[in-house]
């Protein structure tokens, strides 16, 4: 079995180094199933795979039921934080242990193995990335220190208690009944122990009538007498980090407690000492005379665990279920039939439901259509152009442009046919040149007597004869009187 755990750990370490180099680095803690349980350095996917290779049937435990109480042999409890379990779940687990030959494995949560991971893989990284690895290791250590200061983790159950250590310790040269045979110094666990274990100090929760397995006298017994705690592994300072809880009320059942979850996470099981610890736990938890035991993995957080306990006797209907119980069920059936008949009677009157079209008031296209209709009624395109021209003048201050209409100047009339431009502009020189041909008319011109009024341009001022002051004012320029 130890070879299997070591093989799984080596495979995980190889795959994780490849995935971490080309994907997102996962550090989610406490999951034993799903993608994060396999990819995260703080997951328990490798530990669960070790149970399956040891011959266990595994399943997730999301609620506590009577069926699980009869079928489950081992419960691996991996909380994600230090939130206490609700009293009904504690009573259920105590009753389950009282059935005998059951093992509860409790893995206490900690800050994870991120700092140890960066420290371990920094020598294996390329030279240009080692500084980044050391920076991340220092950042993870600072976050762990702040978490220890801000969130106390001291709590207690009737079976055992967990209290934080003043300073983190290393599980090196451990002593106790489960002392592991570790060779080189590189095989020592690198996880920092943040908590120590001890006997339970919390009072036993009040027993429910359908869950109790003891009498009232034994319920009043202190937890330190009902449950016995034994240290299995201790640090050099005498702090217990792996313990066992037994009771006279349990028939060959036990609780195995591990104070630091980083010892059994995916990254933790890449080390030889932690592999031996996982192998020892699986060996002690495996029941005898069972060909294929079942292990249930319980992951908890701040939410309480639901306990589904069956009531003894025949189930009784309540609430809306009373409508299906005799004699009320007879009235229910007739009421349903009467409602169906009423619906069939009203169908010819009201007909089939029709879908009504509703105009949305927020449609801006309707506003444009309304404005266009009003402008068409007011004057059409000319009115629209005048409004646009007024907007350009008043709001934008434009005086010319394609949309600006000059309303002061009259519209330009269409050009009319006129004489040649050189007909009268030649002056006296033109008259002299044409004396030899008096009857010759130039092309595209008309006779002087056929020119329409106001169509002949005036000659230049230099060619207009000066009026004689001795002549009458009403004389024409050709010398004839009016």
Q: Which are the contacts of 478, defined by CB distance < 8 A and separation ≥ 6?
A: none
Alpha carbons 240 and 392: distance in angstroms, whole number:
87
- Among all chains, which residue has been given the structure tokens 């920094």? 122
Alpha helices in 23-173 (DSSP H): 35-39, 45-53, 66-71, 87-98, 114-121, 130-150
- Among all chains, which residue has been given the structure tokens 């080692």? 130
Alpha carbons 106 and 30: distance in angstroms, whole number:
12
Q: How far is CA 370 from CA 197, 268, 364, in A?
A: 80, 74, 10
Q: Which residues of 317-335 are buried (b: 16+ CB within 10 A; e: fewer)?
A: eeeeeeeeeeeeeeeeeee
373 three-class SS:
helix
What is the residue-level pLDDT of the chain in tens, covering all 482 positions? Answer: 544 555 445 444 444 444 444 457 888 888 888 888 888 998 999 999 999 999 999 999 988 988 888 889 999 999 988 888 888 899 999 999 999 889 999 999 988 888 888 888 888 888 888 889 889 989 888 888 887 777 666 788 989 999 988 888 888 778 888 887 765 555 677 788 888 998 887 766 655 434 434 433 344 455 656 889 999 999 888 899 999 999 988 888 999 999 999 999 999 898 888 899 999 999 999 988 788 899 999 999 888 888 876 655 555 666 677 778 788 888 888 899 999 999 888 887 777 777 777 666 777 888 888 888 887 888 788 888 888 899 998 898 888 888 888 766 555 554 544 444 444 444 444 444 444 444 444 444 444 444 444 444 444 444 444 444 444 444 444 444 43
Q: Encoding tokens for residue 173?
A: 């040269």
Q: How far is CA 92 from CA 86, 189, 276, 311, 320, in A?
A: 10, 34, 31, 14, 30
Cis link prior to 378 (omega < 30° from 0)?
no
Alpha carbons 398 and 310: distance in angstroms, whole number:
86
Work out the burial of residue 82: count CB atoms within 10 Å of its CB; fewer than 13 is exposed, 13-18 middle, 19 or more buried: middle
Residue 128 phi, psi (nearest 5): -75, -10
The rounded Cα 301 to chain-centroid distance in angstroms is 20
pLDDT score at 354: 74
Residue 258 forms beta bridges with which residues? 107, 242
Strands 240-247 and 227-234: antiparallel
- Among all chains, which residue has been given the structure tokens 């004396």? 435
162 three-class SS:
strand
Alpha carbons 56 and 61: distance in angstroms, whole number:
15
Q: Encoding tokens for residue 389?
A: 């021209």
Alpha carbons 258 and 285: distance in angstroms, whole number:
14
Residue 273 phi, psi (nearest 5): -60, -40
Strands 57-60 and 294-298: parallel
The structure's pTM equals 0.59
Are 45 and 266 in contact by the 8 Å Cβ rule? The answer is yes
pLDDT score at 462: 43
Are 158 and 93 in contact by the 8 Å Cβ rule? The answer is no
Mind giving me the DSSP string for 88-110? HHHHHHHHHHHTSS-EEEEE---
Alpha carbons 192 and 110: distance in angstroms, whole number:
9
Query: Which long-range contacts (C-beta less than 8 Å, at least 24 apart) are formed by 310-318?
Result: 310/66, 311/210, 312/210
Alpha carbons 169 and 247: distance in angstroms, whole number:
30
Return the C-alpha torsion angle 37, 42, 48, 50, nearest 10.
130
Return the C-alpha torsion angle 206, 195, 1, 183, nearest 10.
-160
Q: Encoding tokens for residue 153?
A: 């983790």
Are 110 and 195 in contact by the 8 Å Cβ rule? The answer is yes
Residue 122 phi, psi (nearest 5): -60, -45
Alpha carbons 465 and 471: distance in angstroms, whole number:
13
The rounded Cα 281 to chain-centroid distance in angstroms is 38
Residue 374 phi, psi (nearest 5): -65, -40
Q: Which of 69, 95, 250, 82 is nearest to 157 (CA)?
A: 82
């Amino acid at each position: 079995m130890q070879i299997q755990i070591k093989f799984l750990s080596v495979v995980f370490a190889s795959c994780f180094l490849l995935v971490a180099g080309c994907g997102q680095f996962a550090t989610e803690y406490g999951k034993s199933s799903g993608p994060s349980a396999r990819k995260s350095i703080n997951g328990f996917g490798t530990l669960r795979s070790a149970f399956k290779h040891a011959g266990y049937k595994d399943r997730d435990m999301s609620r506590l039921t009577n069926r699980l109480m009869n079928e489950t042999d081992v419960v691996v409890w991996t909380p994600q934080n230090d939130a206490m379990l609700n009293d009904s779940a504690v009573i259920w687990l105590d009753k389950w242990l009282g059935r005998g030959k059951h093992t509860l494995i409790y893995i206490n949560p900690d800050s994870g193995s991120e700092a140890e991971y960066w420290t371990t893989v920094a020598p294996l990284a390329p030279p240009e990335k080692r500084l980044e690895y050391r920076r991340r290791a220092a950042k993870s250590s600072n976050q762990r220190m702040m978490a220890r200061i801000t969130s106390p983790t001291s709590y207690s159950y009737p079976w055992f208690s967990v209290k934080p250590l003043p300073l983190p310790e290393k599980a090196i040269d451990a002593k106790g009944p489960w002392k592991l045979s570790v060779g080189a110094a590189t095989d020592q666990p690198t996880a920092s122990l943040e908590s120590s274990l001890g006997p339970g100090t919390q009072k036993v929760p009040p027993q429910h009538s359908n869950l109790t397995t003891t009498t009232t006298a034994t319920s009043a017994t202190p937890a330190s007498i009902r449950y016995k705690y034994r240290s299995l592994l201790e640090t050099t300072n005498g702090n217990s980090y792996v313990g066992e809880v037994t009771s006279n009320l349990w028939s060959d059942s036990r609780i195995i407690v591990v104070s630091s979850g980083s010892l059994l996470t995916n990254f933790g099981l890449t080390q030889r000492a932690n592999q031996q610890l996982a192998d020892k736990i699986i060996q002690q938890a495996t029941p005898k005379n069972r060909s294929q035991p079942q292990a249930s993995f319980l992951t908890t957080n701040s939410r309480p665990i639901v306990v589904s306990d069956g009531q003894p006797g025949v189930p009784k209907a309540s609430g809306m279920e009373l409508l299906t119980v005799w004699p009320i069920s007879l009235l229910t059936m007739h009421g349903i039939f009467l409602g169906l008949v009423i619906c069939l009677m009203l169908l010819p009157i009201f007909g089939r439901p029709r879908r009504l079209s509703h105009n949305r008031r927020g449609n801006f296209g309707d506003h444009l259509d309304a404005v266009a209709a009003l402008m068409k009624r007011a004057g059409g395109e000319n009115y629209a152009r005048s409004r646009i021209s007024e907007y350009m003048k008043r709001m934008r201050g434009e005086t010319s442009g394609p949309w600006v209409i000059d309303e002061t100047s009259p519209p330009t009339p269409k050009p009319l046919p006129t004489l040649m431009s050189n007909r009268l502009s030649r002056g006296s020189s033109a008259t002299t040149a044409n004396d030899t041909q008096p009857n010759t008319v130039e092309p595209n011109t008309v006779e002087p007597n056929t020119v329409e009024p106001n169509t002949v341009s005036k000659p230049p001022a230099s060619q207009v004869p000066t009026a004689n002051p001795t002549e009458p004012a009403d004389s024409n320029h050709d010398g004839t009187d009016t």
